[in-house]
Copies of this chain bind each other. A is one copy, B any other.
Amino acid sequence: MGFLQRLDRAWEANGSNLCVGLDPDPAKMPERFAASRNGIAEFCIEIVNATADLVCAFKPQIAYFAAQRAEDQLETICTYIRENHPDAVLILDAKRGDIGSTAANYAVEAFNRFGADAVTVNPYLGTDSVEPFFAAGGGVIGLCRTSNPGGDDLQMLDTGGAPLFVRVAEMISQRWAQLGDCGLVVGATYPNELAQVRSIVGDLPILVPGVGAQGGSADEVKSNGSRRDGHGIIVNSSRAVLYASNGDDFASAARTVAEETRRSCSP
Give residues in A with beta carbon < 8 Å to B. Answer: 23, 25, 61, 63-64, 66-67, 69, 71, 95-103, 105-106, 108-109, 112-113, 122-129, 143, 146-155, 157-160, 164, 167-168, 171
Please state if A113 and B69 are interface contacts (CB–CB under 8 Å): yes
- Return the 9 tightest CB-CB contacts between A and B, nearest first: A126-B150, A128-B150, A126-B153, A63-B105, A67-B105, A67-B108, A99-B148, A66-B109, A124-B124
List 22 contacting pairs A-B, 8 Å CB cutoff, sorted by A.
A23-B101, A61-B102, A63-B96, A63-B106, A64-B105, A67-B105, A67-B106, A67-B113, A69-B71, A95-B96, A95-B122, A97-B143, A99-B146, A99-B148, A122-B124, A123-B124, A124-B143, A126-B148, A126-B150, A128-B148, A129-B146, A157-B159
Main secondary structure of the interface of A (DSSP, over half): helix
A129: nearest chain-B partner, CB-CB: B150
Q: Say yes or no: A127-B153 contact (C-beta < 8 A), given A63-B109, A66-B105, A69-B113.
A: yes
Indicate which residue in B101, B102, B105, B126 contacts A155 across the interface (CB closer than 8 Å).
Answer: B126
Measured CB to CB, the closest approach of chain B to A220, in angstroms, equals 20
Cβ contacts under 8 Å, A99 to chain B: 146-148, 150
A143: nearest chain-B partner, CB-CB: B124
Kindly name the residue among A63, A143, A155 whose own CB sees the greatest number of chain B CB atoms within 10 A: A63
What is the CA–CA distance of A168 and B155 in the complex, to the nearest angstrom? 11
What is the CA–CA distance of A97 and B64 in the complex, to the nearest angstrom? 14
Please state if B122 and A150 are interface contacts (CB–CB under 8 Å): no
What is the CA–CA distance of A159 and B158 in the complex, to the nearest angstrom? 6
Kindly name the residue among A102, A125, A171 whose own CB sees the greatest number of chain B CB atoms within 10 A: A125
Cβ contacts under 8 Å, A122 to chain B: 95, 97, 122, 124
Kindly name the residue among A112, A146, A147 whose own CB sees the greatest number of chain B CB atoms within 10 A: A146
Please state if A126 and B152 are interface contacts (CB–CB under 8 Å): yes
Measured CB to CB, the closest approach of chain B to A79, in angstroms, equals 13
Cβ contacts under 8 Å, A103 to chain B: 63
Q: Say yes or no: A154-B168 contact (C-beta < 8 A), given A63-B109, A67-B113, A113-B69.
A: yes
Cβ contacts under 8 Å, A167 to chain B: 154, 157
What is the CA–CA distance of A143 and B79 in the complex, to the nearest angstrom? 34
